[in-house]
Structure formats: C-alpha cells, structure tokens
Amino acid sequence: MGKKTLLYGFLIISGFLTLAPFIWMVSASFMLDGHASVFPPRFLPDEFTFDQYKTLFSRLDVSRNLLNSFFLSVVVTLVSLTFNSMAGFAFAKYRFAGKDAIFKMLLSSMVIPAQVTMLPLFLMLKEFGFLNTYMAIIIPGMANVFGIFLIRQFVMAIPDSLIESARIDGANDFQIYYKIIIPLAAPVLVTLAIFTFMGTWNDFLWPLIVLNDSEMYTLPVALANLMGEHTKDPELMMAGSVITILPVMVIFLALQKYYIKGIMMGSVKE
Amino acid sequence: MKKAAYLFLTPALTAIFVFFFIPVIAAFLISFTDFDIYAIGNYSRFQFTGLENYRKLFENDLFWKALVNTFYFVVASGPLSIAISLGAALLLNSKLVRFKGIFRLVYFMPVVTTLVAVSIVWRFIYHPEFGLLNYGLSFLGVEKIDWLGDPNWAMPSIILLSIWKNFGYNMIIFIAGLQNIPEELYEAAQIEGANAFQRFTKITLPMLAPTTIFITIITMIGYFQLFAEPYIMTQGGPLDSTLSIVLYMYQEGFRWWNMGYSSAIAFVLFIIILTGTLLQMWYQRRRTA
C-alpha cells in the first residue's frame, strides 16, 4: 500500500514538473504587461487579458507567419509523402539492377548531418533565385531517406498475391500504386505525415538561414526574431510561444497513436 | 515492370541526389577553398587552399572551445537523459501502475513541442529575479543563481532543458523494448530465487542492449547538433561557455560568410558523428558475436 502511494506520488509530481513550463507559459500569456516579471512569481493572471495575443496579431502580424508555417508544413508533407511512397513501393515490390546498392547507400547517408549540406544548398538556391521564397523550404524537404525506409518496411508486408491478382485484372503499375498500395499503407502514411508536418513546423536552423524577410518567416524564426526585441516582455513572448506550440500539440493529441507507433517502427531497424 | 520501378524512384532519388548528395560533395570541396563573401558575388574569386581551413580551425581557440562545449553537452545530457528515460519506462511498464497512457502522454508532451518556443519559455524560467526555478529553489534555501548569465551554470541549464525536452522520446522506445522481453524469463528467474535487482541486471539490461545501443546512437547524433537552445537562450555566451559546433558553424558561415572555413567545421562535425556511430555499431557487433 505504502509502496503504491509512493510510486503514484512520484509519478504525479514528476508529471506536474514536466508540465509546469507549459502551465506557466499559458498562464503568463494572459497577463498584462509586466505582470509576469514580479517576485514572487504569479502562477495565475491577477487580471486576465487577451492584450498579448491582440498585439501579436495586430501590430506584429504573426498571422502571416502562422500562415507561412501552415502552408509550408502542408506542402512539404504532401510532396514528400508522394515521392517517398513511390520510392518506398519500388524498393519493396520491384526487382531492378542496383536495388540493394542504392538502398544501402541511401541508408548509410543517414549518418550525414544535414548541416553539412547547408552551405552549398544555400548557394544553389541563391543561383535559382529561390532564397527568401517558399521554394527554399520545400525543395530540400521533397524526399527523405527515413520516409522511404519506413514506407518500404510497411509495403514489404503487403502480400504479393494482391498485386498479382490486380495485374491479372488488367491494372497497370500506377493503378496498383494508388489503388492498392496507398490505401493499404494508410497507417504508415498517416504516421509519416505527422512526423513530416511537425518536423517542418518545428524546424529552425534552415528557415533561419534561407528566409530573411519577416513576411516570409515561419513561426519559430519570427518568434526568435521577436525575442531579440522583447527580452523584457515575458507575457508577449509566452503568447507567441503558445501560438507556435498549440497547433503541433493539438495534432499530436488527436493522432498520438500513429505518432507513437511511428517511433516504435523507426526503432526496429537493425 | 522494371521501367515502372525506375519511374517510381526517379522523383525521390533525383531530389535526394541533387539536393543532398551533390551538396555534401560540394561542401567537402568548398572546405578546401577560401570561399567567402567576395566569392559569393563573383564565383571566380576563390581558390583551392588545400588544408588551410582545417589548419586554421585546429589553431583557433574558439573552435576548441565549441568542440569542448559540445562534448560536455553530449557526455552530460546523453547518459543522464537515457538513464531518466529508462527509469520512466520501467516505472510505466510496472504492473503496479494504472493510467499508464496518461502518464506516458504527459512525459512525452515536451518532445512534440517547438524547440524555439520552449527555449524561450525556459529562458524566462531561468530568469535570476523573477524565474520559477530560483523561486522553487528558494524553498530549499538555495541562493539566487544567474543560470544563463553565469559561465559555470549556462551549460548545465541547457542540459536540463534538453533532458526535459527529449527524455519522453527514448522512454517510448524503451517501453517498446521492455514489452518485447518474454515474461517467462522473469518467472523462471523468480523461481530460481533471483531478487528484483538481479532480475534487472541479469535479464532486463542484457535483453534491452540492442534498444539501448540504438537509443545511444540517435541521442548522440541529435545532441551533437545542438543549436537552437544556445542560439535563443545565450547566443553562445557568457564567455562562449555555450558556443556549440553548429552555432559556431552558423556564425562563421552565415553571419561572416566564411563559407570555406564553415564547411570545414561542418565536416569535422560529420567525422565526429560518424566515428561515434561506427564505434557503437562495432561495440554491438562484438557483443553479439
């Protein structure tokens, strides 16, 4: 009995400590200017206000940044899901020259940190005239090895007989891809969609490098930029953080099963 | 049939080849040149300088500082966060606990959030005057600490934030690993009279070894890329005590446009990550052989 109480007590206290930064973030975002900079700290707003959110959306125009983040996350997710699923399907169900060699090369490239590519990629996009445009974010996100790998693993488990019988019924390769493989691979595609959406939404270093107009900024870049001018305004910065975090948190809570399954799938690779 | 396969592969492989592999090779070549802001305007204005960038790098105190800081960060937060992840996984896998789903969700929450946003939140939590942390510690009789302003405390502060942010991820992988250990092993051990500690060291840990190695590799790779936390919270300071390799690379490459030099930094990072990964894979192979 005592042991169980202790265990729950520990779990609840550490759970509260884990959530405390979020609780304070939300609470401070509803405070008036300066009301979060007091000692002892306030845990709840003494006067509840939407002022910080109003400032963000009217004067600082974060709605544009919110829109950028949404648009880019959706486009990168759709494009990379299409490209990755086609390649994953090919690696899982076709035999062709150099298949194993290409796949091994792709897998081993995962050890190369993205930072290595950033300087030449920057110069390349500059030549194309893509700096400070949406293309600068979309182009490097069009396909990725992790996605191809995850989809390949999943599609390999789809029985060949399904493909064979569709072929006998006269389906061509492309019909097999979008009428059989895509519907059956839906669970892994949803998982990957969440990963990609959140990854693009949360990404910071690359957008910081290639976007240099506040109108083009994604939310994290806009937020980091705002922090430079508002180091003494925790209330405003907390409202900005809420706006940045809330969409990914909602998506995660709604689709957590898929997300958690994806982490486990990703971890079974040898 | 084969033609179809190549058609399916072309978009993804072209994108990866053009926008990943070519830049990797280009970065390698640029790291042997004096490519800088003048060369950006006019590509004829740079030349091969051999190992000059690497020589300059290894003679630069700031680079060594960044290297030492990054290793400090990886060596401290890596094992700590893995230990906490394992502890949380063991607790949440225990038969004594109900409402596992809720606890798992709560501990996992920081993982999905935006690093920039939580770095900003923590920057205020670490505030010496008004921050929650000093307030909480004052009840334990701890004097006010200037967490991000004191060169001795700045890196530990970033370590604490990153452990909080990441432990939930590895916890999930550990839970999956624990669930794969057959129950009979524990039953047999219990019959033989093994106590809880023995069951942990003789069954749980060895059975979890592949999971642990996987987690160590991905955690290490992620932690070596430390960037947003110091960028937001300390800008690498105070006294460069939180300058990381990637932050240094960013400053050299994209603030001062010393692109040749910056590429050399990126390659050193790559070599470190590669070495770390190979060492752990070699260790795993030796264990199983």
Residue B273's identity, in one-letter code, is: I
Res. A1 pLDDT band, cuts 50 70 90:
low
Between A191 and B41, whose confidence is greater? A191
Phi, psi of B33 (to 5 degrees): -125, 170
CB contact under 8 A, B9 and A86: yes
The stretch A198-208 carries a mean pLDDT of 97
CB contact under 8 A, A220 and B225: no
> Looking at residue A149, what is its pLDDT?
93
A117:B19 CB<8 A: yes
For the residues A15-19, what does the mean pLDDT come to?
Answer: 96
Is there a contact between B5 and A220 if contact means CB atoms under 8 Å apart? no
Q: Is the pLDDT of residue A41 over 90?
A: no
Range A158-176 average pLDDT: 93
- Cα torsion through A28, A33, A35, A39, rounded to 10: 110
What are the structural domains, with CATH classification, of chain A?
1-49 (no CATH), 62-266 (1.10.3720.10)
Per-residue confidence (pLDDT) for residue A217, from 0 to 100:
97
Partners of residue A104 in chain B, C-beta under 8 Å: none
| Sequence letter at residue B35 | F
- Taking CB atoms and an 8 Å cutoff, what residues of chain A touch B13? 87, 102, 143
Listed by number, the residues of chain A in 57-76 with a beta carbon closer than 8 Å to a beta carbon of chain B are: none
Which residues between 173 and 202 in chain A have a beta carbon less than 8 angstroms from any beta carbon of chain B?
173-174, 177, 198, 201-202
Q: What is the pLDDT of residues A105-155, one digit of tens each?
A: 999 999 999 999 999 999 999 999 999 999 999 999 999 999 999 999 999
Mean predicted lDDT score pLDDT of chain B: 93
Q: How confident is the model at residue A254 (pLDDT cuts 50, 70, 90)?
A: very high
The mean per-residue pLDDT over the stretch A252-269 comes to 80
Query: What does the pLDDT read at residue A269?
Result: 46
Nearest by CB to B109, which of A4, A18, A144? A18
- pLDDT (mean) for B155-165: 97
Q: Which pLDDT score, from 0 to 100, does residue B162 have?
A: 96
| pLDDT for the residue B235 | 93
* A209-226 mean pLDDT: 96
Minimum CA–CA partner of B138 in chain A: A40
User: So what's the ipTM on this one?
Assistant: 0.93
Contact check, Cβ <8 Å, A96/B6: yes
A77-88 mean pLDDT: 97
- B77-111 pLDDT, tens digit per residue, is 999 999 999 999 999 988 888 888 899 999 999 99
The yes-or-no verdict on residue B18 having pLDDT over 50 is yes
Pick from A143, A221, A241: CB nearest B12: A143
Integer Cα distance of A152 and B247 in angstroms: 35
The pLDDT, as a whole number, for residue B1 is: 62
The answer to whether B164 contacts A21, with C-beta atoms less than 8 Å apart, is: yes
How many Å lie between the alpha carbon of B57 and the closest alpha carbon of chain A? 16
> What is the widest separation between alpha-carbon atoms in chain A?
76
pLDDT at B37: 84
Q: Does A7 touch chain B (CB under 8 A)?
A: yes
Helices (H) and strands (E) in chain B, counts: 15, 0
Closest CA of chain B from A64, distance in Å? 18
Residue of chain A whose alpha carbon sits nearest to that of B168: A18
pLDDT at A54 over 60: yes
The CA distance from A1 to the nearest CA of chain B, in Å, is 10
Check: CB of residue A105 under 8 Å from CB of residue A174: no
- Tokens of residue B170, six digits: 């590895």
- Residue closest to A252 by CA, chosen among B166, B109, B103: B109
CA distance B276 to B257: 29
**Could you please report the per-residue DSSP string of A166-223?**
HHHTT--HHHHIIIIIHHHTHHHHHHHHHHHHHHHHH--HHHHHH--STTT--HHHHH
**CB pair distance less than 8 Å for B121 and A202:** no
Mean pLDDT of A52-72: 95
How close A75 gets to chain B, by Cα (Å)? 15
Secondary structure letter of residue B255 according to DSSP: I
Residue B213 pLDDT greater than 70, yes or no: yes
Q: Rounded mean pLDDT of B147-167?
A: 96
Count of A-B CB contacts under 8 Å: 251
Task: Check residue A191 and give its pLDDT.
Answer: 92
Residue of B112, B160, B172, B217 best to disrupt the A interface, most CBs of A under 10 A = B112
Residues of chain A found within 8 Å of residue B252, distances taken between Cβ atoms: none
Of A181, A183, A149, give the one whose Cα is nearest residue A262.
A149
Give the nearest partner residue to A113 out of B2, B4, B273, using CB atoms: B273
pLDDT digits (tens, 9 = 90+) for B19-54: 999 999 999 999 999 988 888 877 777 889 999 999
Q: What is the mean pLDDT of the segment spanning A189-194? A: 94
The phi-psi region of residue B236 (left if phi > 0; otherwise alpha if psi is between -120 and 50; otherwise beta) is: left
Instruction: Summarize pLDDT for A84-99 with one digit per residue, the tens.
Output: 999 999 999 999 989 9
B164: which chain A residues are within 8 Å (Cβ-Cβ)?
A: 18, 21
Residues of A with Cβ-Cβ distance to B20 under 8 angstroms: 109, 112, 117, 140
Provide the pLDDT confidence category of residue A259 given band limits of 50, 70 and 90.
Answer: confident
The full set of domains in chain B, from first to last, is: 1-30 (no CATH), 62-288 (1.10.3720.10)
The verdict on pTM exceeding 0.90 is yes
CA–CA separation, B136 and B147 (whole Å): 14
A270 pLDDT band, cuts 50/70/90, is: very low
pLDDT of residue B62: 96
**Residue the block writes with tokens 């079974």:** A268
Strand partners, B33: B48
**Partners of residue A264 in chain B, C-beta under 8 Å:** 172-173, 176
Task: Mutate one of B121, B169, B275 to test the A interface: name it (highest A CB count within 10 A).
Answer: B121
Specify the pLDDT at position A117: 96
> What is the reported pLDDT for B30?
94
Asked whether the beta carbons of B116 and A223 are under 8 A apart, the reply is yes
Return the closest-CA partner of residue B185 out of B159, B166, B200, B203. B203
Where b means 16+ CB within 10 Å and e means fewer, A112-139 reads bbbbbbbbbbbbbbeeeebbbbeebbbb
Contact in structure between B11 and A86 (CB atoms under 8 Å): yes
